[in-house]
């Protein structure tokens, strides 16, 4: 099974990705985790990512596409995977499409966790308070939500037009949301 998971900040993508991957026996692959591991281990990629971020830049698609393509060749991904945090741009969608075509694979589904913005803002404000993140205020969080929506709406439209999109209510207890996801995926892939 080859899956993507998408959703706005605070909806619980990372938590759900781990559970979905365990349920289907596939690895959850987070581009953020890959970057953080490389930075922590000071690999050549990590050093380059650190330099880019220190200069206030975004890691270019060419680097992100290459690390994802490389990760998908690892043995644990041979029978499938779930990508969390990728693709984020139309260029990344094109790169993933090309990689899947090159390897004779295809996507099975794209999970989109949906939630009311006000609920997510409240959730993120609570998390910011618990973690002492003074930079996370309601205006900043709402701005991040707007950026996410602008960037992601075209990608969701692409996957909807390919009949791959599975929209799931992302609000509720972790187990509740997980149940909704597996029910929706099982129905989609039956």
Q: In CATH, what number is assigned to the domain containing residue 28?
A: 3.40.50.300
133 is catalytic: yes
pLDDT tens figures, 69-114: 989 999 999 999 999 989 999 999 999 999 999 999 999 999 999 9
Q: Which pair of structure tokens corresponds to residue 143?
A: 């701005």
Residue of 36, 40, 127, 162 marked active site: 127
Can you tell me the distance from the alpha carbon of 116 to that of 135, in angstroms, rounded to the nearest whole number? 22
Count CA within 13 A, CB hemisphere, residue 112: 19
Residue 144 known to be catalytic: yes
Q: Clarify whether 13 is annotated catalytic.
A: yes
Domain that residue 49 falls in = 2-189
Q: What is the pLDDT of residues 1-50, one digit of tens each?
A: 999 999 998 999 999 999 999 999 999 999 888 888 888 998 888 888 88
Catalytic residue among 88, 123, 180, 188: 88
**Cα Dmax for the chain:** 48
Number of domains present in the structure of the chain: 1
36 in catalytic set:
no
């Amino acid at each position: 099974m080859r899956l993507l998971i998408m959703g706005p900040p605070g909806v619980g993508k990372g938590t759900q990705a781990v559970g979905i991957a365990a349920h289907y026996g596939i690895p959850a692959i987070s581009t953020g985790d890959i970057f953080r591991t490389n930075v922590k281990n000071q690999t050549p990629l990590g050093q380059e990512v650190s330099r880019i971020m220190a200069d206030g830049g975004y890691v270019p698609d060419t680097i992100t596409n290459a690390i994802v393509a490389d990760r998908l060749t690892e043995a644990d991904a041979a029978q499938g995977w779930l990508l969390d945090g990728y693709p984020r741009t139309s260029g990344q969608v094109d790169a993933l499409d090309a990689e899947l075509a090159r390897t004779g694979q295809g996507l099975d589904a794209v999970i989109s966790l949906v939630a009311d913005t006000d609920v997510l803002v409240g959730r993120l404000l609570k998390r910011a308070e618990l973690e002492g993140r003074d930079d996370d205020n309601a205006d900043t969080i709402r701005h991040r939500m707007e950026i996410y929506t602008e960037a992601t709406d075209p990608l969701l439209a692409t996957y909807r037009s390919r009949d791959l999109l599975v929209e799931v209510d992302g609000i509720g207890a972790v187990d509740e949301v997980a149940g909704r996801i597996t029910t929706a995926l099982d129905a989609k892939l039956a």
